[in-house]
Structure formats: C-alpha cells, structure tokens
A and B are shown apart, each in its own frame.
Chain A
Amino acid sequence: MQNLWLIPALPFLGFLINGILGKKLPKMVINAVAVGSVVLSFLLVLNIWSSGGDLAANPIHQHYFTWIQSGEINIGWDYAVDKLTLIMLMVVTGIGSLIHVYATGYMAHEEGYYRFFAYLNLFMFFMLNLVLGGNYLLLFVGWEGVGLCSYLLIGFYFVKKSASTAGNKAFIVNRIGDFGFSLAMFLIVVNFGTLDFTKVFAAAPGKSTETLTAIALLLLLGATGKSAQIPLYVWLPDAMEGPTPVSALIHAATMVTAGVYMCTRSAVIFTHAPIAMDTVAIVGLATAVFAATIGLTQYDIKKVFAYSTVSQLGYMFLGVGVGAFSAGVWHLVTHAFFKALLFLGAGSVIHACHHEQDMRHMGGLRKYTPVTMAVLACASLAIAGVPGTSGFFSKDAILTAAYGHAPWMFWVGVVTAGMTAFYVWRAFWMTFWGEYRGHGHPHESPWSMLAPLVVLAFLSIAGGFLFNVPKILEGMFPAAEEVPGESMLMGISIAAGLAGIAISYYMYVVNPKLPQRISDGLGGIYRLVYDKYRIDELYDATVVNPVITGSRSLLWKVMDQGVIDGAVNGVGSEAQLAGGWLKMLQSGNIRSYATWVVLGAVCLLILIGVAEGVTR
C-alpha cells in the first residue's frame, strides 16, 4: 500500500467539492461525494488491513514534505501506520462510513445539507490525520482540526444561541487541554530534539523519570480536554446541541477517543512515569463514577448517553492508567460500536418523536419503531456488559487489569458498571415501554437510517469476537500481569451489570412510581446530581466571570485607560501648559514674526561676535 495520503485526501476532496460547490449541487451528488469519499477511504484501509500482514515488524512510514524546519528541529508531514493506527483507521473510516449513510437520511430535510456534509468530511480528514500522523505535531494538527469540526458541527444550528455557545465552550475547553498538549510537545522537543514517534519512543527509556512524568502529565491534560475527563469534561454534554449523527460520530465514537489513542500511542512515556500512570487511572476512574451518577438522573436521552460516554471514556483511561493499554483500546473499539449505535438509535427515536428529546415525553415506542428498539436493545446489552456481547470482553479486560493494579479500583469500576447498566436500561425502558406520552404519531425511520443501525447492532454484539484487540496488538505493549481468580472477577462484573438491568426494570416497568419517591427522598442531593453537581456554575463563578469582569474593569478601564493613558496624557497636559505660554508668541501677525526673526538674527550676530572675541 503505497499511498497513505489518499486516505485523508479523499474526504478532504469531498469537503472541497461540497463546501465550495455544494450550494448548487443536487442532493444526490452531495451524497455521492460525501459518502463515496469516506467509503473509498474505508476500502483503502481495508486494503492495508488485508495486505499488510507484518505491520508489527515493518510499520509503514511515509514522508511527504518538510513542514517546519529550523536549526536542528525538523518536523515532517509524515504518515505512519502500525497496528494501533490500523485499528483506529478501521474504526474511524468504518463507523464514519456508516454514520455518513445514516446522516443522508437523518439530515434529509435540514437546511444547509451540503454544509453539514462538508464539515463531516472535513472532520474525517482531520481525524485521519490524527491517527495517521507520524509525529506529535501532526497528531496535534488532527487534534485541533477535529476540535474545529466539532465546533462547527455543534454550532451547526447557529441561529440558536445555545448551539453556538456550546460550540464555543467545546473549542475553548479543548484549547485548555491543548495548552497542556502543546507544552508537552515543547518539553519533548527540548529533551528529545524531535517529535517523531519512533525517535522519541526509542530515546524515552533513557530520560529521567521527572522529565517523563512532566511530559506525561501535560499530555494527560491534553487528553482530558479532548476526551472529556475531569476536570475538562464540561463541554461534552453541551455538545449534544449538534445534530445527532455528529454526536454519534464525533462525540461518541471517534474524536473523544483521541485522548485514549494519544495516551496509548505515548505508552512508552507513560510506562516510565508511574506517577503519571496512577494519575491517569485515578482521573479515569473518578470520571467514570462521577459521570455515571449524573447519568442516573438525566431525562434528555442524548444527555444520558453523553454522560455515559464520559463515563465510558473514564473506563478507557482507567485501562490505560493501570497499564492495560490494549484493553483500553479494545474498549475504545467496542465502545465506538455500541455508543455510535446508541446515539444513532437515539437519533432514530428523536426522529420518530418529531425532534423530542425528553424521555418523559416518549414511551411505548416498541409498537411504532420495532427495528430501532431491537438495535438499541443490542447496544444496551453490550454497554451493560452482558456476557457474549462486545462490551463484556473489553470491560472485563479493563476491570481485571484494574484488580491486578489495585483492588479498590476494581470495586469502584464494578459499581460504575452497575450504574451504567442501570441508566442505559432506564433510558431503554422509558423510551420503549409503557404508554406513548408525546405528541403526534411516532413513525419508524427510513432504511437509509436503519441499515447502518443494523450493521452496528451486529458489531455491538459480535465485535468482541471479530476484533480481539489484545491479540492484534500483542507485543506492542508490555504484557499485563496475570491476575489470580480471573473468572471470579468476571462473575462479579457480570452480576453488577445484570443487577443494574434488573433494578431499572423493576423501577421503570414494574413499579414506575418508585423513582419519584426515591428522588423526593433524596431531596437536595438529588437536585445537586440532577444539576450536574453545578460544576458549570462553579467554573463560571470561579474562572469565567472573574476573568471577564477583571479584564473589563481592572485591566481595560483602570489599567489601560486610567494608568497608562493617564500617564501619557499627564505628560501631554504639562506640555500643553507650556504650549499655552508659547502660544502667545503665535499672534499670526507677520510683523511680529519678522520682529522675532530680527531678534534671532541679532542674537546670532552677537554670538558670532562673542565667539570671535573669544578666539582672538
């Protein structure tokens, strides 16, 4: 496979065509360009998958041109493919293709159809850049680029203020993460003199632990931004303002997992920095629990899944943090399947209910949308970790590794797994069981939307067998420690998942009055959780508002206009005072001026005379 550049170039071409000419093109052409370019990329990836058997020994590395060159620092536009990249490529292009197909149906009646697909293709371009990049800077290109597309797509309905605000929030919070990422890059260059993955990783073991810890922690800051971890997770729930296919593709399956990919990619650095590893694990675990509790209380179906995404990403970080990199990536892949499916299914539900997102106005949809219900059931089983489904394998791998690292992490993870199963199934029951509580007549979605769902449903169930990631990645990462009593741990986590499902069934189908009583009983705590712990308000009060009011009143009005300008104008008014006296001389009368000239001439003459006298 010689032309790696074609893989991102094709969606980029699609972006150019649809972006520039899209307004005048018929929908058929737009579809063909948008979907076709991504599917072609997918085929190219498949080609590598099938032909490049020995990637572990001979990773593909292609250099196209020098991007930045100064002194001894040389950063090229390089694409590289190894096993890890290949898995990411499969996920990105594969799920990307499915979601593109889905979107042709979902977005059919939207204004700015071409714009949507142009953005989507641009996203594919940047995402592929992210995973293909052969050095940190190129990864960063994709990293920022997907952030841009996320911004554009969240703010797709830009007339709505909440949408554009959510877009801004996403971009800016990501920027804070990127601040860490870029600092990490600077440190890498200072210490390694290069950003190429191969060179950096080859040299990393020889560097001091402090250096590597600093780099790893800064990288982690970057990852928390992109992958919505504590403390920078706040943008992701708001990002649900975007169209649902976007939520599925960007905010569930691909972009948000970039942080996990980046940490996995930097495994060498992380493994040599134990403190950073522990931090990753704790951040991941904390996020998983924290987001899961919020997920328990939400009524907006997309918000539920959004918090679920945050929580699942926390799992992946937990996996990375405890050293089970391949398990983290495995969960990344399976999560991409079932979470994309959850979102797309949710999209189908929303579509069916005439753009209603509140689950309290749904219910009983199993009669109207049987296919959607079936596929969502698959996804919900997978995320709950029911044995045999894809989610089971990856989640179990992570939890086992966590037990090997520190048993308390395992127990927290199990509780989270239970909560996950509970809130996902809660959403399922509220949507499909009971009586329809909404308006209008719900209707099943067109086949262009359902077909991708079916494919994804298959993958959600069977993905664990089809993509045995730890086996594929064998040898890339240090092997996880053997954990005694593995089957018992497995049993515990399965039990937690099943318990979650059962409780949700009891609370929302058997005894629907119960949840209300529980929430009333909890009172203030429930409100706090329902309001997402008021973290947004906290950030507003401690960071955003002080910065804005401080900048306005202190820096601008006092400092800039008061102190600095005041000082300058003070000098100016002194000069004006002196000028006032001198102004008297400027009478405008020629004869007065002439008198001054004569005075000057006489003075000069006398001066010359004095000078003469002195010299003689």
Chain B
Amino acid sequence: MDFLFFFLFAFIAVACAVSVVVQKHPIASALSLVGVMASIAVLYLQLGAEFLAMAQIIVYAGAVMVLFIFVIMLLNAGAESRSGRSYAAQLMGPPLLVALMASLGFAIMRGFPGGGTVKFDSFQGGTAQNIGYALFTDYLLPFEVTSVLILVAILGAIVLARKEMD
C-alpha cells in the first residue's frame, strides 16, 4: 500500500516537474508546479508531516502560486521568446545535469545503503501541536526573527513595486 502510494505520487510529482520545465508558456508551468506541490504534500502526509502537508497546500500551492499567476497575468507574459543564448548553459548544461544526478544518486545510495523505511503512521511527531511546541520553545528566537524577515520582505516588495521611484 505504502509503495503504491509512493510510486503514484512520486510519478505525478516527476511528471509535473518535467512539465514545469518543458512547457513553453509560463502559465502552464505554474499550473504544473501546483501539481508538483500537491503531490509532495501527499508524500509529506505519508512521512507523518501532517502540519507541513497542510502548510504546503495552503502556503505554496495556495498563496505563492497564486502570486505567481497574478504576476504572469499582470505582465501578460506569453510564450518565451527565443532570442538570447548562453553557450555555457547549452554546452555544459546537459552533461552537468547528468553528472549532478549521478553524483547525487551515488551519494544517496552510498550514504543510505540500508536506511530506514517509511510506513504510513510510523511517525506521529509532525502534528500541529508538536510543531507549535518546538517553535515556541527551542526555536523561539528564529521564529521571532522570521517575523522581522517577513516584515522586511513586505516593505521591500512594496518599495520595489511602487509605481514611481522618487
């Protein structure tokens, strides 16, 4: 059952990711990305991260992606033009990608030969309660700093996107 689940959503995720990369139109890429995120959210559930799964759906698939789509529509971005080029990326990109994947895979296989296994419900530490407890005890300072970060980000976004810079 776990296998089925994993393969199904892993497949969806990879397929959507491929789609993100190959689609010519940004809006299609964006929608594909939503698919990736949703399937990752399911995998989170399987890994026992229920809070994160919900956050993933709400924050990523919801807020962030909506923002993307807004911008795409606002700028009326069409299919990308073919002008411009990067010799470095075109020549070295494909072999590098293969090498990257190979070395990552090698590292994973080498580093986790046996590894543990994941079963649904095998870990229940990812509830909202647990996360909340950790956030407000051990990770209180980073958490608070995060609020500053977000504030700065908001201000930065406002300043940058203002109509006239004076």
A interface, CB within 8 angstroms of B: 587, 589, 591-592, 594-596, 598-599, 601-602, 605-606, 608-609, 612
| Top 5 closest pairs, chain A to chain B, by CB | A592-B88, A591-B86, A605-B103, A591-B89, A595-B88
Rounded to whole Å, the gap between the CB of B116 and the closest CB of chain A is 20
- Flag if A599 contacts B86 (CB, 8 Å): no
CA distance A601 to B97 in the complex (A): 11
Residue of B nearest to A589 (CB): B86
Q: Which of B26-34, B52-60, B104-112, B142-150 contacts A (4 or more CB under 8 A)?
A: B104-112
- Flag if A605 contacts B107 (CB, 8 Å): yes
* Complex contacts, A595 vs chain B, CB 8 Å: 86, 88-89, 92-93, 96
- Flag if A598 contacts B100 (CB, 8 Å): yes
Rounded to whole Å, the gap between the CB of A448 and the closest CB of chain B is 75
Given contacts A598-B97, A605-B107, list 20 more A-B pairs with CB under 8 A: A587-B88, A589-B84, A591-B86, A591-B88, A591-B89, A592-B86, A592-B87, A592-B89, A595-B89, A595-B92, A596-B88, A598-B93, A598-B96, A599-B92, A602-B103, A605-B103, A605-B104, A606-B99, A609-B103, A612-B110
| Central interface residue in B84, B103, B107, B110, by most chain A CB within 10 Å | B103
Known A587-B86, A589-B86; judge A602-B107 contact (CB<8 A). no
- CB-contacts of B55-106 with A (<8 A): 84, 86-89, 92-93, 96-97, 99-100, 103-104, 106
- Flag if B99 contacts A602 (CB, 8 Å): yes
CA distance A606 to B105 in the complex (A): 11
CA distance A612 to B113 in the complex (A): 14
CA distance A176 to B96 in the complex (A): 76
Rounded to whole Å, the gap between the CB of B103 and the closest CB of chain A is 4
Q: How large is the interface on B (under 10, 10 to 19, 20 to 34, 35 or more residues)?
A: 10 to 19
- Flag if A609 contacts B107 (CB, 8 Å): yes
Rounded to whole Å, the gap between the CB of A98 and the closest CB of chain B is 77
CA distance A612 to B97 in the complex (A): 22
Rounded to whole Å, the gap between the CB of A33 and the closest CB of chain B is 63
CA distance A601 to B88 in the complex (A): 15
CA distance A134 to B94 in the complex (A): 91
CA distance A592 to B88 in the complex (A): 5
Rounded to whole Å, the gap between the CB of B65 and the closest CB of chain A is 23
Known A591-B89, A592-B88; judge A605-B100 contact (CB<8 A). yes
* Complex contacts, B89 vs chain A, CB 8 Å: 589, 591-592, 594-595
Rounded to whole Å, the gap between the CB of A54 and the closest CB of chain B is 86
- CB-contacts of B131-147 with A (<8 A): none
* Complex contacts, A606 vs chain B, CB 8 Å: 99, 103
Residue of B nearest to A608 (CB): B107
Rounded to whole Å, the gap between the CB of A563 and the closest CB of chain B is 43
- Provide a sorted-by-A list of 14 A–B residue pairs whose CB atoms are within 8 angstroms: A592-B88, A595-B89, A595-B92, A595-B93, A595-B96, A598-B93, A598-B97, A598-B100, A599-B92, A601-B100, A602-B96, A609-B107, A609-B110, A612-B110
Residue of B nearest to A596 (CB): B88
CA distance A606 to B100 in the complex (A): 9
CA distance A598 to B87 in the complex (A): 15
Residue of B nearest to A601 (CB): B100
Rounded to whole Å, the gap between the CB of B26 and the closest CB of chain A is 16
Residue of A nearest to B87 (CB): A592
CA distance A72 to B86 in the complex (A): 75
Residue of A nearest to B93 (CB): A595
CA distance A445 to B96 in the complex (A): 105
CA distance A355 to B162 in the complex (A): 81
* Complex contacts, A589 vs chain B, CB 8 Å: 84, 86, 88-89
Residue of B nearest to A613 (CB): B110
CA distance A601 to B103 in the complex (A): 10
- Flag if B96 contacts A599 (CB, 8 Å): yes
CA distance A594 to B96 in the complex (A): 11
CA distance A64 to B119 in the complex (A): 96
* Complex contacts, A605 vs chain B, CB 8 Å: 100, 103-104, 107
* Complex contacts, A599 vs chain B, CB 8 Å: 92, 96
Residue of B nearest to A612 (CB): B110
CA distance A608 to B111 in the complex (A): 12
CA distance A590 to B104 in the complex (A): 24
CA distance A598 to B98 in the complex (A): 11
CA distance A605 to B105 in the complex (A): 11
* Complex contacts, B103 vs chain A, CB 8 Å: 602, 605-606, 609
* Complex contacts, A612 vs chain B, CB 8 Å: 110
CA distance A601 to B106 in the complex (A): 14
CA distance A11 to B25 in the complex (A): 94
Interface code B154-166, partner A: CB below 8 Å = 1, 0 otherwise?
A: 0000000000000
Residue of B nearest to A605 (CB): B103
CA distance A408 to B162 in the complex (A): 103
* Complex contacts, A602 vs chain B, CB 8 Å: 96, 99-100, 103
CA distance A598 to B93 in the complex (A): 9
Rounded to whole Å, the gap between the CB of A183 and the closest CB of chain B is 67
CA distance A592 to B89 in the complex (A): 5
- Flag if A609 contacts B106 (CB, 8 Å): yes
Rounded to whole Å, the gap between the CB of B106 and the closest CB of chain A is 6
Rounded to whole Å, the gap between the CB of B62 and the closest CB of chain A is 28
* Complex contacts, B92 vs chain A, CB 8 Å: 595, 599
CA distance A175 to B15 in the complex (A): 91
Residue of A nearest to B91 (CB): A595
CA distance A271 to B104 in the complex (A): 96
* Complex contacts, A609 vs chain B, CB 8 Å: 103, 106-107, 110
* Complex contacts, A596 vs chain B, CB 8 Å: 88
Residue of B nearest to A604 (CB): B103
* Complex contacts, B99 vs chain A, CB 8 Å: 602, 606
Rounded to whole Å, the gap between the CB of B104 and the closest CB of chain A is 7
* Complex contacts, A598 vs chain B, CB 8 Å: 93, 96-97, 100
Residue of B nearest to A593 (CB): B88
CA distance A489 to B106 in the complex (A): 119
Residue of A nearest to B97 (CB): A598
CA distance A589 to B86 in the complex (A): 7
CA distance A596 to B97 in the complex (A): 12
Rounded to whole Å, the gap between the CB of A466 and the closest CB of chain B is 90
CA distance A591 to B97 in the complex (A): 14
CA distance A612 to B107 in the complex (A): 10
| Central interface residue in B84, B96, B97, by most chain A CB within 10 Å | B96
Rounded to whole Å, the gap between the CB of B100 and the closest CB of chain A is 5
| Central interface residue in B89, B106, B110, by most chain A CB within 10 Å | B89
CA distance A599 to B103 in the complex (A): 12
Rounded to whole Å, the gap between the CB of B60 and the closest CB of chain A is 23
* Complex contacts, B97 vs chain A, CB 8 Å: 598
Residue of A nearest to B103 (CB): A605
Rounded to whole Å, the gap between the CB of B95 and the closest CB of chain A is 9
CA distance A154 to B97 in the complex (A): 86
Rounded to whole Å, the gap between the CB of A591 and the closest CB of chain B is 4
CA distance A231 to B141 in the complex (A): 83
CA distance A589 to B92 in the complex (A): 14
Rounded to whole Å, the gap between the CB of A584 and the closest CB of chain B is 10
Rounded to whole Å, the gap between the CB of A73 and the closest CB of chain B is 60
